[in-house]
Amino acid sequence: MDEYPGNRRSVRSTRRSIGVIRFAATTVAAVLLLLTAGGAGSAAARLLSVGWTTQDGAPKVVVHTDRHVRYRSAVVGDRLVLDLWPVAGTRRGWQPVATGPVGAVRHETLRPGVLRLTVFLRGAVRYKVFRRADPHKIAVVVLPSHRAAVRLPRSVAYRKIRVRTGAGSTRAHVVTVDPADPAISIRPVLGAETVQGREATAHAATRSDAVAAINGGFFAPSNGQPLGLVMIDGKVLSTPFPRRSVFAITATGRPRISAFAFRGTLRTPTGAVPISAINRPPRAGGVAVYTPEYGPLTPHHERPVLVRRGVIVGLPAGRVPIPDDGYVVTATARETDRLLRPLERGAPVRMQTSVEPEGVVHALGGGPRLVRDGRVDIPYGWEGFRPSVYARRTSRSAVGITRSDKVLLVAVEGPDEENTGMNLREVAALMRDLGAVEAMNLDGGGSSTLVVGGRVVNRDESRQRAVPSMLVVTYRPQP
Q: For residue 84, name the pLDDT band (cuts at 50, 70, 90).
A: very high
Residues with Cβ < 8 Å from 163, sequence gap 6 or more?
169, 170, 171, 172, 412, 422, 426, 430
Mean pLDDT to the nearest integer, 170-177: 98
Beta strands in 234-296 (DSSP E): 235-238, 245-250, 255-259, 261-268, 271-278, 287-290
Residue 374 has pLDDT above 80, yes or no: yes
pLDDT for the residue 42: 54
d(CA 72, CA 115): 11
State how beta strands 271-278 and 287-290 pair.
parallel
Mean pLDDT, the chain, rounded, equals 90
Decide: helix, strand or coil at residue 202: helix
| DSSP string across 62-92 | EEEESS--EEEEEEETTEEEEEEESB-----
- Read off the pLDDT of residues 201-226 as tens digits, 9 standing for 90 and up: 999 999 999 999 999 999 998 888 99
Residue 279 has pLDDT above 80, yes or no: yes
Decide: helix, strand or coil at residue 33: helix
- Read off the pLDDT of residues 290-330 as tens digits, 9 standing for 90 and up: 999 999 999 999 899 999 999 999 999 889 999 999 999 99
d(CA 83, CA 206): 19
Q: For residue 6, name the pLDDT band (cuts at 50, 70, 90).
A: very low
pLDDT for the residue 26: 33
